[in-house]
């Protein structure tokens, strides 16, 4: 369908799918998307593992607590929502404290295992490697996204630049066309989560720098 339009430039902005993380036992966890979109019902005692530090895990924790769950938010960062700015983070922090959430910093989920109808989460301090366990009935894990990149790779070999970007030109907002494939008739780019896990500001900035001179 894309090739039928005979484009000069193709920008792939297909987003991504949720990443739970790489800890042992990921199949026992659910994603923040599962909870926020209502695909999975909230548990009663829930551990939210936030390895991203943005809105998703905090928003999910707030939703869980609004529905009666007891929540512990675990993060390897020094505090929750560490990737948010000072204008946004305080609203999430106040909501977490108002709901009496337990916040455990400097700690990462390394293993998840089932025992009967409960889950045992093994947590490890990132500084001294000391491990401790939590017994819960649900683990929600957030580690950004994996790119939806199938369309990009389906088009890559047909493009002139084969997806290569003029990084020096990108840095000053004027990327030049690159020709790696003389038979290609269009320049191919991808932005935002279609490239790697980013926030919305990065996706907008990518798009602006690529497209403003077209």
* Per-residue model confidence as pLDDT tens digits over 52-89: 999 999 999 999 999 999 999 999 999 999 999 889 99
Mean pLDDT, residues 90-117: 97
pLDDT above 80: residue 173: no
Count CA atoms within 13 Å of residue 156 on its CB side. 11
pLDDT above 80: residue 213: no
Q: What is the DSSP letter of 1?
A: -
Task: Considering only the C-alpha atoms of the chain, give the largest distance between any 2 of them, rounded to a whole number of Å.
Answer: 61
Mean pLDDT, residues 19-48: 97
The answer to whether the predicted template modeling score (pTM) of the entire model surpasses 0.85 is yes
Closest to 45 (Cα-Cα) out of 118, 136, 121, 133: 136
pLDDT above 90: residue 93: yes
Where would I find the beta strands (DSSP E) of 19-106? 30-31, 45-50, 70-74, 102-104
Q: How confident is the model at residue 24 (pLDDT cuts 50, 70, 90)?
A: very high
């Amino acid at each position: 369908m894309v090739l039928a339009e005979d484009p000069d430039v193709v920008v792939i902005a297909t987003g991504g799918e949720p990443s739970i993380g790489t800890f042992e036992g990921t199949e026992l966890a659910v994603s923040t998307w599962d909870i926020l979109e209502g695909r999975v019902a909230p548990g009663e005692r829930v551990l939210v593992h936030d390895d991203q530090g943005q809105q998703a895990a905090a928003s999910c924790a707030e939703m869980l607590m609004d529905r009666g769950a007891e929540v512990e938010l675990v993060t390897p960062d020094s505090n929750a929502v560490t990737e948010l700015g000072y204008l946004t983070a305080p609203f999430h922090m106040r909501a977490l404290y108002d709901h009496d959430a337990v916040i455990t910093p400097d700690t990462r989920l390394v293993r998840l295992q089932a025992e009967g109808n409960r889950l045992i989460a093994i947590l490890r301090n990132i500084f001294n490697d000391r491990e401790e366990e939590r017994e819960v009935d649900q683990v929600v894990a957030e580690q950004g996204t994996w790119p939806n990149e199938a369309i990009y790779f389906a088009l890559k070999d047909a493009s002139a630049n084969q997806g290569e970007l003029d990084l020096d030109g990108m840095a000053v907002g004027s990327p030049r066309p690159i020709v790696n494939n003389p038979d290609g008739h269009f320049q191919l780019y991808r932005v935002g989560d279609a490239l790697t896990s980013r926030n919305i500001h990065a996706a907008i900035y990518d798009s602006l720098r690529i497209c403003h001179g077209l």
